[in-house]
Structure 1
Amino acid sequence: MSAFDAIPTQDPPLLDADALEQRLRDIGAKRYHNLHPFHEMLHNGQMNKGQVQAWALNRYYYQSSIPIKDAVVLSRFRDRQTRIAWRHRIEDHDGNTDSEGGIERWLQLTTGLGLDPAYVESTQGILPATRFAVDAYVDFVGRRSPLEAIASSLTELFAPSIHEQRIAGMLEHYDFINPGVMTYFQRRLEQAPRDANFALDYVRTHATTPAAREAVCQALIFKTNVLWVQLDALYHAYVSGFPPPGAFRPERL
C-alpha cells in the first residue's frame, strides 16, 4: 500500500449499482479538490500573478501525464471495444496531425501567463510533490485491476463544476487572464461528461460484487487524494511561502 492509497472504511456493503453510484457521488461531494482552500483563493481572485503561474506550471505536469496514463489503461484491456471507447482520450490531450489537444491548450494558458513554453515543458520547476503524486497515479493504473484503473478516472464526474467556476472566476478577477487562454477548460466542459458517463457505466456494469464496488470507491478516493495533495504542496510553497530548492520562484512571493 502506497502513501496515497485510501484506508478501507466501515461503510455498509454496496449491494447494487445504485448504491455504488450514490457512494461515488458522496465521495466527490466530500473529497473533490474544488473544496481545497487553494482553489477557493484561485477562483476568488485572491492570488497574485506569480501564484497563478505556479499553479499553471505545476498543473502542466498532470495534464501532460494524462495521455500517458490513458495509454497505460488502454494496454490493460484485451477487449477491443473498450480500447476503442477509451483511446479518444489520448487524442483529446495529445491532439493529432490536424488538430490541437488539451496539452497545447494548456500551453496557451501558461504562455498567456508569461511563462516560457520550453521551461514549462521541461517540468524543471515543478514541486516534488507534484511529480510524486502524478507519477503515483500513472503507477496506480498500471498495477491495479483494470476495473480500478477506469474507476480512478471518475473524478471527471465532478470536473464540469470546477471548470465553470474557474472560467467565470478567473476571467472576472484577473486582468492578466483573457478568454483566449481559457480554451482548455471550455473544451473540457464537453469532454469530461462524455468520459465520466462511460466510466460510470463501466463500473456500474462490471463491479458485480460488494468487494468490487468497494474497490471502485477506494480507487476514486485514491484519485481525489492525488489531486488534493498537489494543492497542499502548492499552498505550502506559494501561499505559505516555502518553495523547495529548485522549484519555480515567482517574482512576487
Structure 2
Amino acid sequence: MARPLSREQFAARLHDLRGRYWDTHPFHLRLHSGGCTPPELRRWVANRWYYQLCLTRKNAAIIANCPLPEVRRAWAGRLAYQDGPDADGTGGLADWLVLAEAVGLDRAEVVDQRHLARGVRFAVDGYLHFCQTRPWTEGVAAALTEMFSPDHMADRVTAWRRHYGWIDPAGYAYFEHRIPVARADSARTLELVLDHCVTADQQRAAVDALAFKCEVLRAVLDAVDYGADR
C-alpha cells in the first residue's frame, strides 16, 4: 500500500500543476500580448460568463456534500461573494456584467447566453457535475486553481490597460475585487486540502481533481479560440 506524502510533499505536488493552468494556452497568450481582436476579447468575456454562473452552484454542491459544519460555514461565504449579499447589484456576477459592458457587449446578450459556445457549456457543465458527484474534498481540491489565478489576473489588468485602450476602465472592477479575495481563499483552500486529504488515495484524488479543473479551463479556451471571429 502506498504511503501518503508528507504535508510539504503533498503541497509541492499540488503546486507542480501550475504548468497545466490555462495561462499557457495559445489563446491566453494572445489575449495578454495584445493579439486579440475586439470580437475575440468579447467572445472570451461572454463565454466566461457561463463559468461565473456555475461557481455558486458548484460551491453549494461542495457544501451539500460536506458533513463538517466548520467547513460548510467557511465555504458558505463564497456564495454571497459571487451572487452578492443582496439585490443591490454587487458581487462577482454583477462585476462581470460591468466588464461585459466595458468591452462593448450588450448585457442582455450576455445574460441570455446567445454567444455561448457548445464546448464551453460542456466543459463547465462537466465541472459542475464533478463537484456535485465527487467527495467534497475533491471539489475543494479542484478549486485550488485559485493558487495560480491572482498573479495571472493582475498581469491581465496590466496587459489589457497597455494593449486594449478601448476598454472602459470601469470594467476592471471585477479583477480588482477578485484578486485579494482569491489570494486569501487559495491559502484557506490549500489548508483544507492538506488537513483533510491525509491518505495516499485521498491525496491522489485531490491531485487528479486539480488536474481535471485545469483541463476544464483549457477546454473552455479551446472552444473560445475555435469560435473566435467565425
Does 1:55 find its partner at 2:44? yes
Matching residue's letter, 1:78: P
Does residue 175 of structure 2 align to residue 191 of structure 1?
no
1:209 aligns with 2:199: yes
SS of residue in 1 equivalent to 2:67 = coil
- 1:155-208: per-residue Cα shift (whole Å, max 9, x none)? 000011110111000011112113211111111111111111111101111111
Counterparts in 2 of 1:111-130, with a 5 A limit?
111-130=101-120
Does residue 73 (structure 1) correspond to residue 62 (structure 2)? The answer is yes
Q: TM-score, normalised by structure 1?
A: 0.87
Residues 102 and 169 in structure 2, CA contact (< 8 A), matched pair in contact too: no
8 Å Cα contact 1:203/1:216 also seen in 2: yes
Cα deviation per residue 1:45-84 (whole Å; 9 max; x = unaligned)? 1111111100000001001111111111111123221111
Residue 90 (structure 2) pairs with residue 83 (structure 1): no
Q: Secondary structure of the residue that 1:188 maps to in structure 2?
A: helix
Aligned-partner residue type, residue 152 of structure 1: A
Residue in 2 aligned with 1:228? 218
Partners in 1 of 2:17 and 2:46 — Cα distance? Answer: 28
Equivalent-residue separation in structure 1 for 2:130 and 2:222 (angstroms): 20
- Per mean C-alpha deviation after superposition, the further-off stretch among 90-99 and 126-135 is 90-99
Structure 1 alignment gaps of length 5 or more: 1-11, 244-253
Q: 1:171 to 1:141 in 2, by over 3 A?
A: same
Partner of 1:175: helix, strand, or coil?
Answer: coil
Between the aligned partners of 2:195 and 2:92, the Cα distance in structure 1 is 29
**Contact 2:63–2:136 (CA under 8 A) maintained in structure 1:** no
Pairing of 1:20-169 with structure 2 (within 5 A):
20-28=10-18, 30-97=19-86, 98=88, 100-169=90-159
Percent of residue pairs identical: 34
Count of aligned positions: 228
Q: Which moved more, 1:62-71 or 1:218-227?
A: 62-71
Cα offsets for 1:190-247 (capped at 9, x unmatched)? 1111111111101111111111111100000000000001111111211xx5x4xxxx
Q: Distance in 2 between matches of 1:78 and 1:216?
A: 18
Poorly superposed stretches of 4+, deviation over 6 Å: none
Q: Mind listing any 5+ residue stretches in structure 2 that lack a counterpart?
A: none
Letter in 2 for 1:196: S
Larger proportion of helix? 2
